[in-house]
């Protein structure tokens, strides 16, 4: 009989601190999008497998004249997930503010705690979907004035990130690489600088890497750099097996965070043996 206990550890997982964003607190540091899944059922299963507690959604025109298709809301457990409505597709501050207000109205109707926050995206260009730094700042200021908790999609430029925080954003969310590109984190130094500047004198300020994730190691890397969380969509939704990838993302988030907290060793140019040289019976060159 195989001993099933042989795979168990004698130490329990270290206690992980929750992700705190403004007034909100979550055990999972992964935020998942709900777009681009082959079916609503698959989305539901992937969200479940990811362990996420926060899901992003978009605000769009009701399809008045189409055959009534499946509604996202029929597949989203609103008691389980805090919904984070986005302003995706907005290319001006004015439009982003309108969409944010519509999203808040919808979530208030649904009684979801996500009503008072927004994932702000003000895009500057259709092809790259890179953020418009000026429009993003304008919209952040207006939405903060309107009482929103602003989760702000930003480029990985540390100074832009700082300006967005100064404008009152609850969290700055720098992109690892362009939305949906799957290129991972293209400029680790910039993410590190974003983290350093945003957390200067304010170590608990939440910084979430948003966009560009292609695989689980990208998530782990973001967490190892010291990010507070990762937001992703396409990497799971378009994986060959989205549910398995969602599991992988959950593990990667935890592994990356634990690796960051545990404190990595310094890099060295030369090897240092893990087995003692003393007592070796072999010939050792130079000795």
Partner 1 sequence: MQINLNGKSHETPEGTTIAGLIEQLNLADQACAVEVNKALVTKVNHATHTLSEGDTVELVTLVGGG
Catalytic residue positions?
Answer: 119
**CA distance linking residue 245 with residue 243, whole number of Å:** 5
**Alpha carbon separation from 144 to 97, 173, 233 (Å, rounded):** 10, 16, 26
Radius of gyration of the chain (CA): 22
Nearest distance in Å: CB 107, partner 1: 8
In terms of CB distance, is 11 or 126 closer to partner 1? 126
Nearest distance in Å: CB 152, partner 1: 15
In terms of CB distance, is 64 or 262 closer to partner 1? 64
Query: Taking Cα atoms as reference points, which of 96, 87, 95 lies closest to residue 119?
Result: 87
In terms of CB distance, is 16 or 72 closer to partner 1? 72
**Alpha carbon separation from 133 to 86, 92, 100, 139 (Å, rounded):** 17, 11, 18, 10
**CA distance linking residue 280 with residue 261, whole number of Å:** 36
Tokens of 238: 């378009």
In terms of CB distance, is 193 or 252 closer to partner 1? 252
DSSP 120: E
Residues engaged in binding partner 1 (CB under 8 A): 33-37, 43, 56-62, 64-65, 71-73, 83, 85-86, 88, 98, 101-103, 105-106, 108-110, 179-180, 211, 231-234
- In what helix (H) or strand (E) does residue 19 lie, and over which residues does it extend? strand 19-21
- What are φ and ψ of residue 156, in 5° steps? -90, 15
Nearest distance in Å: CB 171, partner 1: 16
In terms of CB distance, is 98 or 199 closer to partner 1? 98
**CA distance linking residue 151 with residue 146, whole number of Å:** 14
**CA distance linking residue 143 with residue 240, whole number of Å:** 38
In terms of CB distance, is 86 or 140 closer to partner 1? 86
Nearest distance in Å: CB 57, partner 1: 5
Q: Using CA of residue 149, residue 249, residue 263, residue 186, what is the dihedral sign?
A: negative
Nearest distance in Å: CB 88, partner 1: 5
Nearest distance in Å: CB 226, partner 1: 23
**Alpha carbon separation from 49 to 149, 162, 205, 237, 245 (Å, rounded):** 27, 34, 28, 12, 9
**CA distance linking residue 24 with residue 53, whole number of Å:** 11
């Amino acid at each position: 009989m195989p001993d099933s206990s042989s795979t168990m550890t004698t130490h329990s997982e270290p206690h992980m601190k929750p992700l705190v964003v403004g007034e909100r607190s979550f055990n999972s540091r992964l935020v998942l999008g709900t777009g681009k899944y082959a079916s609503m059922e698959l989305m539901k299963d992937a969200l479940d497998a990811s362990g996420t507690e926060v899901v992003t959604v978009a605000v769009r025109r009701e399809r008045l004249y189409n055959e009534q298709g499946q509604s996202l809301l029929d597949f989203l457990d609103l008691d389980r997930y805090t919904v984070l409505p986005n302003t995706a597709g907005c290319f001006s501050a004015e439009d982003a503010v309108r969409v944010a207000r519509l999203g808040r109205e919808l979530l208030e109707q649904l009684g979801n705690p996500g009503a008072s926050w927004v994932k702000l995206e003000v895009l500057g260009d259709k092809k790259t979907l890179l953020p418009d730094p000026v429009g993003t700042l304008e919209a952040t200021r207006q939405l903060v004035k309107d009482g929103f908790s602003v989760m702000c999609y930003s480029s990985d430029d540390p100074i832009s990130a700082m300006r967005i925080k100064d404008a009152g954003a609850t969290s700055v969310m720098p992109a690892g690489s362009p939305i949906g590109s799957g290129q991972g984190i293209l400029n680790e130094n910039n993410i590190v600088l974003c983290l350093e500047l945003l957390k200067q004198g304010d170590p608990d300020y939440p910084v979430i890497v948003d966009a560009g994730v292609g695989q689980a190691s990208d998530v782990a890397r973001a967490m190892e750099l010291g990010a507070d969380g990762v937001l992703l969509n396409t990497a799971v939704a378009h994986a060959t097996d989205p549910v398995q990838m969602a599991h992988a993302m959950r593990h990667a988030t935890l592994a990356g965070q634990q690796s960051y907290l545990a404190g990595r060793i310094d890099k060295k140019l030369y090897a240092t043996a893990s087995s003692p040289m003393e007592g070796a019976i072999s010939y050792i060159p130079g000795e």
